[in-house]
Amino acid sequence: MAEQRPAGRNGVGGGRAIRVGTRRSQLARIQTDSVVEMLQEFYPDLRFEIIAMSTIGDKILDTALSKIGEKNLFTKELENALERNEVDLVVHSLKDLPTSLPPGFTIGAICKRENPLDAVVFHPKNCGKTLSLLPEKSVIGTSSLRRAAQLKKKFPQLEFRDIRGNLNTRLKKLDEKEDFSAIILAAAGLKRMGWENRIGQLLSPEDCLYAVGQGALAVEVRAKDQETLNMVSTLHDGETVLCCIAERAFMKRLEGGCSVPVAVNTMLKDGQLYLTGAVYSLDGSESLKETMQTSVNYPQQPYFDVCTCRMKMDQMMMCSMLASQPRTSLLRPRKLQRTLALNWLIYC
């Protein structure tokens, strides 16, 4: 049975603050503030309270993400608070959210995606250079196996070393020490922090395919909390949802996470959804990479809202179709059936 609260104006909230969970980092707070601002525009009479907390991934900074052994490094504590009714919704970077959610939770909205590409930030002494122009044996910092695997193959003359911490910490390590010639970060995070001027090189998909969901924000809610689902569904961005559901289906089929170098690139053009997916060995010497394509139709704004459809990422039929394919054939070229990208729509 769906959770019920006394309805306020717009049918949401009942006069009390809507509690929004987030990580404590500056970037997480900026991202959450942006989501709350969008919700406030739709629901000006509601009050929102942001509740910040630290996650396992925030606390363990001396170990590579791939060695910690958890898929929910940056989400577990937030989901625990959601389960205990301490918050009403949680804002995540979608790339941090495992493809299989705990029972009782669902993704209520995926917001419009920021630039999903990876970016290179150079040590001040290397300003104006690109990766190809760095001296041999230059050390590049990254906490991502995906980035390291691809760039090792593309730039074998460079060395790649793990670097942990939030954006502020990693930039400080780069600027104040001589340990790294450059570090690789998500362009979206740098832009949201207002640090676009630190981007020395954007890595194209030809150089480095990006992470599943990179650049997109997701709102996680309790699956039976109908009022909150109705509220956050106004944040849906149709194009972003279609691209990200394809990426997450690909990741789920491979059972990937921080410990697997899985990478993607998706594009919607002229009614066609293109997904390029790749899996790499840790040293980048071996890889499987192919592009799949399907025709799609989806509601355009302003019709893409709760009155028209409801997105249930954790129930996506795309996964079941992909699961029917032999694992060895997953990356072979083939045209996906049209229903793959449409089954997430549930019409009222």
Q: Which residues are catalytic?
A: 96
Task: Show the 3-state SS of 286-344.
Answer: CEEEEEEEEECCCCCCCCCCCCCEEECHHHCHHHHHHHCCCHHHCCCCCECCHHHHCCC
Q: What angle do CA 156, 157, 161 make, to 5 degrees?
A: 80
According to DSSP, residue 121 is labeled: E
If we measure between CA atoms, which residue out of 333, 71, 93, 320 comes closest to residue 219?
93
According to DSSP, residue 13 is labeled: S
Sign of CA dihedral 60, 203, 174, 136: positive
- Give 146's contacts (C-beta < 8 A, 6+ positions apart): 209, 211, 261, 262, 263, 280
Sequence letter at residue 152: K
According to DSSP, residue 267 is labeled: E
CA distance 74 to 55: 5
Residue written as tokens 């707070």?
29
CA distance 230 to 4: 12
CA distance 3 to 14: 13
Q: What angle do CA 57, 173, 148 make, to 5 degrees?
A: 65
CB 141 within 8 A of CB 172: no
